Structure 1
């Protein structure tokens, strides 16, 4: 995810494909989040758990890779490319109740947590 975070927002697919390390990182993250998105849809993993654990990661990855995904869908002639990754990012935006964010970490949001 470290490499994906370095991708500028709105970068073109050709820029991603020009760097093999970035391309491999993008594909790896996309595949992982694709599976996680489907797991949420199939109710194997609760959305709130994903939101609390890695909601920021999903949102950042989608923001960085959205144009690349759209390009891949156009090139393939299919809307199936990373469909569950997109679905997951959109569901997190629609239904988030997390107390954490990119500016407030769990160590602060849940400082007073008791077992």
Structure 2
């Protein structure tokens, strides 16, 4: 008999800065997440519908028509139990949905992993 692989939760990371997105993805992969990386909220919204992730991490300021706060609202509407973390260098101008965590940049790896696995 072969060994069974441990269950890996899926996370969607939305960040238009390539380096920051890669760093977040690497941290999550080391914490046994399967990571889908997106540069904009429109692509991420398709990934949310197709993959039903356990976690969404999004920056507030994104390229495209939708920002990270709008994406967080969409994610919570579609899946009220999904863990959602919004990150930004500035406090979000709009109100975050109930249950969404805000982390100011720079985000420390230990803090990010604690919030992701909470």
So what's the TM-score if we normalise by structure 2?
0.30
So what's the TM-score if we normalise by structure 1?
0.31
